[in-house]
Copies of this chain bind each other. A is one copy, B any other.
Amino acid sequence: MSDNFADRLLSAIAAKGSPVCVGLDPTLDRLPEAVTSHARGPAAVEAFCMGLIEAVAPIVPAVKPQSAYFEALGPEGVAVYFRVVAAAKKAGLIVIGDVKRNDIGSTAEAYAAGHLAGPDSADAVTVNGYLGADGIEPFVKVARETGRGLFVLVRTSNPSAAAIQDFTAADGRKLYEHVAAQVAAIGAGEGLVGASGYSCVGAVVGATWPAQARELRAMMPQQIVLVPGYGAQGASAADCAASFKPDRTGALVNASRSVIFAHTRKEYAGLEWRQAVAAAARGFASDISGALP
């Protein structure tokens, strides 16, 4: 198997039959009672995430732990984050650490060392590109050397994204298009594109903006697009389809709250919480697959 992250991700997607990712966003006040009756704080988050991994590993190719919810619990929470990353990898999942780190070159190197370079590090991380290429390159270097990847924020899924990311130049080009062009250029660098034709440097493009997603799909032919916004954030499977190529490759759709808190959804009432999660993950995967070309 290729060591290129994009190739590994595409293989995992093919093996599971669906280009989806479950976001691990363990907000403490939404955990199932079956978890919180046995554990509290970081221990409850750990038990919850381990249950999630067990439930979704047979169904989806990837998980995306959101660092913020672990960091909210202090250093113990961060220790849980790293154990969750390791457990998910051991379960055969591709792990995308949603850390959105960013800094100037020398400091970005430290972030890349902490989050991407170690034997137990995530397979990929998210990166915020506001500082420009020299804040991204340290992550790219580690990705190249270790068979890992990164996803640079291009067009995010939140309501106020447009207020910054649609800032428009005299020639009509928008900031997100300018960032996309940089991501495409960086991602075409030597040793970054796998046998699949995709680069280990991907992009984040929210599903809540399907028109922009279609345009960005065309602008970044070598980028795998990580697609947040499905489910709780309001985007439909048809919206998510905008980030795929006609051959059904090129994107990985994430759902977090609608899957991991399935125990609170009426349609899964009565199911044990992990069975509810598995059912929601299957529903999510089949909804996305059904909407592709």
A139 to chain B, nearest CB (A): 12
Query: A164: nearest residue on chain B (CB-CB)?
Result: B132
The reply to whether B178 and A114 contact each other, CB–CB distance below 8 Å, is no
Q: A71-B115, A103-B100 are in contact. Are A131 and B164 (CB under 8 A)?
A: yes
**Which residues of B sit under 8 angstroms from A169, Cβ to Cβ?**
167-170
**Which residues of B sit under 8 angstroms from A164, Cβ to Cβ?**
129-132, 175, 178-179, 182
A41 at the interface (CB under 8 A from B): no
The reply to whether A130 and B73 contact each other, CB–CB distance below 8 Å, is no
Name A163's contact: one of B66, B108, B132 (CB within 8 Å): B132
Considering the chains assembled together, what is the distance between the CA atoms of A79 and B73 in angstroms?
A: 11
Considering the chains assembled together, what is the distance between the CA atoms of A136 and B218 in angstroms?
A: 31
Q: Mark A192-232, 1 if CB is under 8 A from B, else 0.
A: 00000000000000000000000000000000000000000
Name A130's contact: one of B68, B114, B153 (CB within 8 Å): B153
The reply to whether B158 and A134 contact each other, CB–CB distance below 8 Å, is yes
Could you say which of A132, A162, A170 has the most chain B C-beta atoms within 10 Å of its C-beta? A132
A100-134 at interface with B (beta carbon < 8 Å): 100-108, 110-111, 113-115, 118, 128-134
A229 to chain B, nearest CB (A): 9
Sorted from nearest, which 7 A-B pairs have the closest CB atoms?
A132-B160, A75-B79, A68-B110, A104-B158, A71-B114, A72-B114, A134-B160
Q: Can you list 6 A-B pairs with a CB-CB distance of less than 8 A?
A: A71-B114, A74-B82, A74-B114, A130-B153, A135-B160, A163-B182
